[in-house]
Structure 1
Amino acid sequence: MTGGPSETRFLESFDGVRIAWRELGEGRPVVLLHGFFSDAKTNWIRYGHAAAIAAEGFRVIMPDLRAHGESAKPHEATAYPRDALTRDGLALVDHLGLTDYDLGGYSLGARTVARMLAMGATPRRVVFSGMGLEGLLDTGRRAEHFRHILINLGKHERGTPEWLAEAFLKTTKGDPVALLGILDTLADTPRDFLERIAQPALVICGAEDFDNGSAEALAEVLPDARYVEVPGGHMSSVTKPELGQAIAAFLAA
């Protein structure tokens, strides 16, 4: 497999908001969703994860979530209904005509994977990375954490998690108004639904990452899941090659 990611492509989602995506590789499709404040390039391309997966014979499809990256960043509250990211993901799957594919996500992306399954997505395999059980059952805690960050930009104490998140936001040139809207789209996924997910699942998380609760507990709740630990915390594990290598190995198995 040679070459870099495709040029950015666009689709109009369920409500006309423009969603960007890029692809890398050829073969079986896998849709990968990035985390909050991030984008496809930062989450999947920069540190080699997409390349590692593509090298195993996959067509890696990486959207920029609504309000992130090259996707539209509307400021109107009407652009952020409940489960908007979920519906964007389903719109992309439909737009590309994907029927036999895999689906994975990091942090907010993993939360969106759960919601896509709850709303009828039927991938072969699923990947939850940077996500614990509590982060799916109760989205409110993390939503309030990020709401506090976004409405107090420039006021966070150096070195705190809030300060580090704001520093990351600056590197990705995030739009605070649009990102606040994303917090209104979040929806909890009930435990009884998680207990019925039939797909083989990989739960992969940094050894020092407890931002979204216990990843091991999530793996225990899912009927057919394996848990893999990689180095780092929530902000650093996504930079480690082990993350992409483990996802590639799981999808190729």
Structure 2
Amino acid sequence: MPSFLSDGITIAYEVFGEGEPVLLIHGFGSSGFINWVATGWVEALNKAGYQAITIDDRGHGQSEKLYDPNDYYPTLMAADAERLLDHLGIERAFVIGYSMGARITAFLALKSPQRVRAAVLGGMGMNLINGLSDSREIIDGLNAEKLSDVSHPTGRQFRIFADHSKADRQALAACMSTSRQPMVIEDVRKIAMPVLVAVGEADDMAGSPEELARILPHGEAFVIPRRNHMLATGDAKFKEAAIAFLGKNALA
């Protein structure tokens, strides 16, 4: 994978196809390949005439691994995404994020609205504002000596995912400590570009998509039928809704 330096940190990325650029920001413990290539997103976007750009968040995939929790605030990861656009010479792009990637997308849209044409927040509803309460259990699960030592359901789920993807669990534990920083409601109201909030019908981690969409000045909600947080990622209806949203805002 190609890479570049973001404030001295090596960030890996890939570019697929041609057309209007869509930056894809993956979720916690994942990677650009796992979240967007393996699930068919890159193929679907290319077929729809878009250029797909994947980034491996710091501490993930082939990007540099960091072990200080202070290196993982969403504002810092949003800055990595913006510097990737700079590196590629892209002035403005559509941005799609999932879960942690959606939080990063929201902070990017808040800090640098001129860079984001429209955004899709997947797997992230009102908990963008409310936060989540199981970070300690996930960190303990990642730091446990072996899977059999992990009893908390969410901690066990993330440990299995990290083991399956051969992730650096120490880096992920540092990331989990700070990457879930909530966004205050006053800042959410400042995100002025169109935003699609897409959450699985059975997702118990994201919070309400409808409530978040009502707070956003130009938000709309999409409920992904019969999907939980993990299974919604590559859902065909999610892809269709997101690509239709991009098309509507490309015309605008």
Out of 186, 195, 199, which is 1:201 matched to? 195
Out of 154, 165, 175, which is 2:158 matched to? 165
Separation in 2 of the partners of 1:235 and 1:46? Answer: 14
Separation in 1 of the partners of 2:42 and 2:165? Answer: 19
- 1:247 and 2:239 are equivalent in the alignment: no
1:216 corresponds in structure 2 to: 210
Structure 1 residue 76 displacement after superposition:
4.8
Structure number having the greater helix percentage: 2
Question: Given residue 175 of structure 1, which amino acid in structure 2 is its aligned partner?
Answer: D
Out of 125, 129, 140, which is 1:132 matched to? 125
**Residues 195 and 223, structure 1, Cα contact 8 Å, conserved in 2:** yes
Structure 1 residue 196 displacement after superposition:
2.3
SS of structure 1 residue aligned to 2:233? helix
Separation in 2 of the partners of 1:161 and 1:142? Answer: 8
SS of structure 2 residue aligned to 1:157? coil
Query: Gaps spanning 5+ residues in structure 2: where?
Result: none
1:238 corresponds in structure 2 to: 233
1:106-149: per-residue Cα shift (whole Å, max 9, x none)? 00000001111222242111110000112x22445253343232
Separation in 1 of the partners of 2:229 and 2:142? Answer: 18
Structure 1 residue 245 displacement after superposition:
2.1
Matches within 5 A, 1:76-155: 76=68, 79-80=71-72, 83-122=75-114, 123-134=116-127, 136-139=128-131, 141-152=133-144, 154=147, 155=149
| Residue-pair matches, total | 243
**Alignment TM-score, normalising by the size of structure 1:** 0.88
Matches within 5 A, 1:41-80: 41-76=33-68, 79-80=71-72
Separation in 2 of the partners of 1:194 and 1:80? Answer: 20
Q: Taking structure 1 as reference, are residues 130 and 18 closer, same or farther at Cα in structure 2, changes over 3 Å only?
A: same
Q: Taking structure 1 as reference, are residues 213 and 148 closer, same or farther at Cα in structure 2, changes over 3 Å only?
A: farther
Question: Given residue 190 of structure 1, which amino acid in structure 2 is its aligned partner?
Answer: V
Separation in 2 of the partners of 1:170 and 1:208? Answer: 24
1:5 corresponds in structure 2 to: none
Separation in 2 of the partners of 1:80 and 1:164? Answer: 21
Query: Gaps spanning 5+ residues in structure 1: where?
Result: 1-7
2:4 corresponds in structure 1 to: 11
1:227 corresponds in structure 2 to: 221
- Overall identity of the aligned pairs, in %: 30
Q: Taking structure 1 as reference, are residues 77 and 208 closer, same or farther at Cα in structure 2, changes over 3 Å only?
A: closer
Separation in 2 of the partners of 1:250 and 1:38? Answer: 24
- 1:34 and 2:26 are equivalent in the alignment: yes
SS of structure 2 residue aligned to 1:178? helix
Question: Given residue 49 of structure 1, which amino acid in structure 2 is its aligned partner?
Answer: W
**Residues 19 and 51, structure 2, Cα contact 8 Å, conserved in 1:** yes
Q: Taking structure 1 as reference, are residues 76 and 163 closer, same or farther at Cα in structure 2, changes over 3 Å only?
A: closer
Judge which range, 181-190 or 199-208, deviates more.
Answer: 181-190
SS of structure 1 residue aligned to 2:117? coil
**Residues 111 and 131, structure 1, Cα contact 8 Å, conserved in 2:** yes
**Residues 134 and 154, structure 2, Cα contact 8 Å, conserved in 1:** no
SS of structure 2 residue aligned to 1:239? coil
